[in-house]
């Protein structure tokens, strides 16, 4: 452990949060070359195409980027060169573009002006050395250099005499890795240039540990950062981050280098539009009803801006216009992010750049085109009495809820009006079921969760009565195998094999199965949940009266893997998730051969035969299980309807550490990297089919910038979040 200043001072709010939380010498890549001149590229009037060449000849597998500011919002398109260095940027609007090259082993080529219909040959510029080449590597190649404490230092022995500085609740090396990925990287893009090269605007410090203590007190995310680092020490955790940036400052480079796009990754076409403000922290985007991607073709894209603002961004991709809709809230004392403690930011000073009340976390569309939000409309403590102990709501009689930090809303684009929906249960992610009531199921999302909630949207839209349209249920495991809800012991009671067992587990993701009516969720490991229990998949079987009949099953990932995050279910009922151990994982309950009752049912250590793991590509942290990867994903979405053109039931992981979408096709993982702006960071995707008769041009998936700090990207403080449309051509030159 490196020396740190134990006298470092923390603001009171940060200290309170802490107490509450109780390989070098990468080589430049040689340019790919072909001995014969490349054939001409067939172009149309809306295309720009040509050949990219370096000193050794045509360059294969590099990106060509075309960007313009001539339209109502900034617009760009990205393609990849084929094995003869040829490129074709299709379907461009009428504008003047700046076009340039970017690729591994290179530095950016000069920006050249061009218009659609113009043939354009470009120059690829080799990087002058390994450091210049590594500057373009995805963030996870850099943050994989972070040194993780050896496995034999866990469980931690604390800060006392003879302690190793790791808290005693940090029980394993996996828990440390889980915290780094799920509490740090998943929001702040750890390996991006602004993280690995700290800003001089932070000030001057006697050592890097002091710098990091100051750094995590910057801006309005300081509370969350303090809690996360507190769980790593905090001084022990700070020492590892200080060592990491010190080694990078001395010139140490990642031990591995990424490969240029090859295979189907060269068929990718990415279209980008600016939307929202440079201070907006976006979570998700939605384009259609996820159950039917043919609805609302060429329609608007909506975003969820979480804590940063109440202004919901909207994009019209046909006119290239972006605007916002103000989301209302019901209670005048609804808290604002501007009221939270904040530290001076090297980008924004003391300005409160986040002022959102509604905390729009996630959104979804239904078959009528209504947009539903997980949104805060009142203070958590302003819980209606009928939700609480003694309340007369049918669900409250079974599982009373004292507070909810986020509720629901629905926006009608036709009337441009919101309905605010007070829920007793907390909301986080949300997804529609497949029943006649169009039930909207929600996840809990907080550190602890005692219920799964739902809204009968058919009834709500008919009556506008939130009270009679909602319900929730405790999660009860059928330990004795009764097959129906029976007598159960509470979560804090010892296991009784003759009775069922309630669990307290916060569903982070939620997903109804299209095959059997069950509702799947996923609970986080301690690195994010800060609850001393493992993460697992959760299956809720509603029954006829979910509050009274619902039963729950839980399933832990197999040994060697850990911490599911995000969830989706394919058309066959197979569940997909991503693991902080560095895997894309599937779970097929139909493969279970052992009984799903008894003691193992209460722990989730059952049906290991149902799991299949796929290791994410790329490096692993030194000294950590090499069967995993340093990469991880925030969420996963299953393309059940071939919206991307790669087939039905293709899982797509939001691997923001590798600045990509990772797809599993025919048993092989392919990374669709988005190279611009550097630091591509997304949390989820949505797919839409605009025209099934136009091949690849009528299909695609949509996502948005998902980092809390878009101003950490390569373009700096003025960078606005972007909408990304990813499409797959049959070959790199298809029009």
**pLDDT tens digits for range 658-711:** 999 999 999 999 999 999 999 999 999 999 999 999 999 999 999 999 999 999
pLDDT above 50: residue 1: no
Say if residue 26's pLDDT is above 60: no
Query: Which one has a higher pLDDT value, 162 or 463?
Result: 463
State the average pLDDT over residues 486-497: 94
pTM comes to: 0.94
Q: Is the pLDDT of residue 363 over 60?
A: yes
**pLDDT band per the 50, 70, 90 thresholds, residue 44:** very high
Residue 365: which H helix or E strand, with range? strand 362-365
Q: Identify the weakest region by mean pLDDT among 168-172, 407-411, 712-716, 726-730.
A: 712-716
pLDDT tens digits, residue range 335-360? 999 998 899 999 999 999 999 999 99
Closest CA to 68 of 268, 271, 269: 271
- Is a pLDDT exceeding 90 seen at residue 327? yes
pLDDT at 40 (0 to 100):
81
Percent of the chain, pLDDT > 70?
A: 94
pLDDT, average across residues 193-202: 92
pLDDT of 20 reads: 39
Quote the pLDDT of residue 448.
Answer: 60
Helices of type H across 232-277? 235-249
Report the alpha-carbon distance of residue 411 to residue 482 in Å, rounded: 43
pLDDT score at 38:
65
Tell me the domain boundaries of the chain.
12-23+137-249, 475-622
CB-based contact 702:644 (threshold 8 Å): no
Q: Which residues are 225's β-sheet partners?
A: none
**pLDDT of amino acid 37:** 59
Dist. CA 717–CA 37, nearest whole Å: 42
Res 356: pLDDT: 97
pLDDT of residue 222: 86
CA distances from 345 to 202, 215, 281, 400 (A): 8, 9, 16, 41
Alpha-carbon gap, residue 703 to 286, rounded angstroms = 8
Closest CA to 179 of 244, 225, 245: 225
* Residue 302 in tokens: 């909506």
Q: What is the mean pLDDT of the chain?
A: 92
Question: Per-residue confidence at 35, pLDDT binned at 50, 70, 90?
Answer: very low
Q: For residue 595, report the phi and psi dihedrals to the nearest 5 degrees.
A: -60, 145
Neighbours of 142 (CB within 10 A): 25
* pLDDT for position 533: 83
Do 549 and 469 contact (CB within 8 A), yes or no? no
Q: What is the pLDDT of residue 446?
A: 58
Q: Which residues contact 510 (CB under 8 A, 6 or more apart)?
A: 429, 430, 431, 441, 442, 443, 452, 519, 520, 521, 567
- Average confidence (pLDDT) over 20-34: 37
Q: Give pLDDT, residue 730.
A: 97
What are the distances in angstroms from CA 410 to CA 84, 362, 371, 605, 687? 51, 12, 6, 39, 21
Which structure tokens are listed for 727? 């499409």
At residue 2, the pLDDT reads 35
Give the model confidence (pLDDT) of 619-672 as tens digits: 999 999 999 999 999 999 999 999 999 999 999 999 999 999 999 999 999 999
Number of H helices, E strands in the chain: 14, 41
Q: Are 93 and 319 in contact (CB under 8 A)?
A: no
CA distance 44 to 91: 9
Is there a contact between 60 and 84 (Cβ–Cβ < 8 Å)?
yes
- Give Rg (Cα) of the chain: 25
Q: How confident is the model at residue 532 (pLDDT cuts 50, 70, 90)?
A: confident
Does the structure show a pLDDT above 80 at 301? yes
- Dihedral pair phi/psi, residue 511, rounded to 5°: -160, 110
| Whether pLDDT at 447 is above 60 | no
pLDDT > 90: what percent of the chain?
Answer: 86
CA–CA gap between residue 328 and residue 313 (Å, rounded):
14
Q: Look at 64-68, 215-219, 434-438 and tell me which has the smallest mean pLDDT.
A: 215-219
Angle, to 10 degrees, between the axis of helix 235-249 and the axis of helix 208-215? Answer: 110
Task: Return the pLDDT at 600.
Answer: 95
Mean pLDDT of the 122-141 span: 96
Of 257, 244, 314, 320, give the one whose Cα is nearest residue 91: 320
User: HSE on the CB side for 613, CA within 13 Å?
Assistant: 21
Give all strands (DSSP E) within 35-166, no chain letters: 48-54, 57-58, 63-68, 75-80, 86-89, 97-102, 106-107, 112-114, 122-123, 125-126
C-alpha–C-alpha distance, residues 467 and 456, integer Å: 10
């Amino acid at each position: 452990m490196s020396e740190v200043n134990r006298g470092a001072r923390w603001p009171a709010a940060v200290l309170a949060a802490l107490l509450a939380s109780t390989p070098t010498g990468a080589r430049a890549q040689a340019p790919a070359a072909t001995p014969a001149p490349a054939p001409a590229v067939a172009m149309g009037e809306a295309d720009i195409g040509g050949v990219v060449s370096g000193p050794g000849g045509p360059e294969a597998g590099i990106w060509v980027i075309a960007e313009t500011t001539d339209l109502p919002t900034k617009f760009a398109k990205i393609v990849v060169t084929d094995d003869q260095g040829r490129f074709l940027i299709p379907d461009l609007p009428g504008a003047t573009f700046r076009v340039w090259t970017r690729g591994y082993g290179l530095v950016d080529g000069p920006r050249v002006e061009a218009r659609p219909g113009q043939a354009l040959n470009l120059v690829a510029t080799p990087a002058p050395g390994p450091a210049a080449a590594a500057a373009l590597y995805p963030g996870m190649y850099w943050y994989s250099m972070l040194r993780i404490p050896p496995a034999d230092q866990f469980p931690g022995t604390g800060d006392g005499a003879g302690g190793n500085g790791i808290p005693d609740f940090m029980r394993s090396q996996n828990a440390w890795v889980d915290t780094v990925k799920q509490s740090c990287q998943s929001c702040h893009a750890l390996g991006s240039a602004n993280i690995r090269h700290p800003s001089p605007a932070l000030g001057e410090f006697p050592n890097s540990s002091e710098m990091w203590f100051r750094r995590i007190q910057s801006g309005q995310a300081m509370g969350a950062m303090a809690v996360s680092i507190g769980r790593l020490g905090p001084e022990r955790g700070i020492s590892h981050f200080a060592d990491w940036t010190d080694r990078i400052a001395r010139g140490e480079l990642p031990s591995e280098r990424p490969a240029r796009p090859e295979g189907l990754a060269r068929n990718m076409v990415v279209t980008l539009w600016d939307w929202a403000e440079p201070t907006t922290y976006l979570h998700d985007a939605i384009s259609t009803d996820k159950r039917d991607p043919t609805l609302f073709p060429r329609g608007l894209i909506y975003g969820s801006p979480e804590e940063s603002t109440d202004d919901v961004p909207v994009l019209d991709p046909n006119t290239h216009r972006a605007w916002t809709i103000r989301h209302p809230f019901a209670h005048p004392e609804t808290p604002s992010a501007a009221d939270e403690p904040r530290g001076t930011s090297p980008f924004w000073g003391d300005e409160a750049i986040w002022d959102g009340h509604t905390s729009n976390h996630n959104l979804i569309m239904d078959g009528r085109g209504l947009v539903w939000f997980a949104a805060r409309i009142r203070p958590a403590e302003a819980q209606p009495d009928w939700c609480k102990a003694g309340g007369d709501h049918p669900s409250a009689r079974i599982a009373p809820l004292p507070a909810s930090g986020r509720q629901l809303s629905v926006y009608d684009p036709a009337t441009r009006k919101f309905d605010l929906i007070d829920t007793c249960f907390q909301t986080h992610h949300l997804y529609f079921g497949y029943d006649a009531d169009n039930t909207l199921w929600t996840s809990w999302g907080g550190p602890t969760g005692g219920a799964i909630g739902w809204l009968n949207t058919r009834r709500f839209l008919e009556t506008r009565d939130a009270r009679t349209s909602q319900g929730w249920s405790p999660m009860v495991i059928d330990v004795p195998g009764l097959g129906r809800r029976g007598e159960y012991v509470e979560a804090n009671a010892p296991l009784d094999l003759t009775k069922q067992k309630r669990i307290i587990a916060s569903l982070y993701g939620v997903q109804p199965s299209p095959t059997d009516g069950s509702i799947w969720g996923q609970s986080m490991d301690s690195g994010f949940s800060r609850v001393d229990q493992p993460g697992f998949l959760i299956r809720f079987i509603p029954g006829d009266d979910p509050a009274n009949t619902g039963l729950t099953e839980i399933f832990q990932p197999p040994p060697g893997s850990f911490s599911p995050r995000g969830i989706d279910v394919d058309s066959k009922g197979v569940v997909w998730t991503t693991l902080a151990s560095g895997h894309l994982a599937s779970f097929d309950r139909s493969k279970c051969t052992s009984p799903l009752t008894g003691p193992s049912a209460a722990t989730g250590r059952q049906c290991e035969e149902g799991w299949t793991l796929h290791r994410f590509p790329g490096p692993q942290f030194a000294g950590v299980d090499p069967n995993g990867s340093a990469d991880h994903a925030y969420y996963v979405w299953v393309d059940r309807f071939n919206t991307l053109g790669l087939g039905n039931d293709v899982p797509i992981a939001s691997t923001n550490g590798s600045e990509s979408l990772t797809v599993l096709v025919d048993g092989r993982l392919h990374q669709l990297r988005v190279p611009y702006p550097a630091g591509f960071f997304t949390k989820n995707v949505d797919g839409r089919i605009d025209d099934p008769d136009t091949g690849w041009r009528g299909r695609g998936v949509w996502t948005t910038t998902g980092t809390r700090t878009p101003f950490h990207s390569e373009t700096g403080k003025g960078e606005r979040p972007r909408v990304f449309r990813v499409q797959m051509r049959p070959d790199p030159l298809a029009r």
